Amino acid sequence: MNTQFNKGVIEMCVLGLVSQRDYYGYELVETISKRIEISEGTIYPILRRLTIEKYFETYLKESNEGPPRKYYRMTKLGLEETEKLVSAWHKFSDDVNYIIKSGSDK
């Protein structure tokens, strides 16, 4: 993936995913990796920060294959902030697409 877009975009992907349902860490890595190439190291600091900022709360769920897994669930605050962020992102990408398109219509 073009690393210039990297930081804020991965965070938004994480927020977008967790706003729909609960996820555990590696699940997020796998899901995002299907479309965007990311490394395991990128996801964890983002998850930790968003949890500290109270956008996420975490809980442990027993697993058959080994020790319990930590799941991330979005809080009300997280939902509000994600909504704002996603709107801003839509507008931003619309603007960028418009500029690129209108620039090439010569």
Q: By the criterion CB under 8 A, which residues form the site for other proteins?
A: 24-27, 29-30, 39-41, 44-45, 48-49, 52-53, 65-67, 69-70
> Read out DSSP for 22-68?
-EEHHHHHHHHHTTS---HHHHHHHHHHHHHTTSEEEEEEEETTEEE
What are 71's strand-pairing partners? 24, 59
Where residue 30 falls (left for φ over 0; alpha for ψ -120 to 50; beta otherwise) is alpha
Shorter beta-carbon distance to other proteins: residue 19 or 58: 58
What is the three-class DSSP state of 106? coil
Shorter beta-carbon distance to other proteins: residue 19 or 27: 27
Least distance in Å: CB of 24 to other proteins? Answer: 8
Least distance in Å: CB of 66 to other proteins? Answer: 7
Least distance in Å: CB of 58 to other proteins? Answer: 9
Shorter beta-carbon distance to other proteins: residue 2 or 39: 39
Least distance in Å: CB of 67 to other proteins? Answer: 7
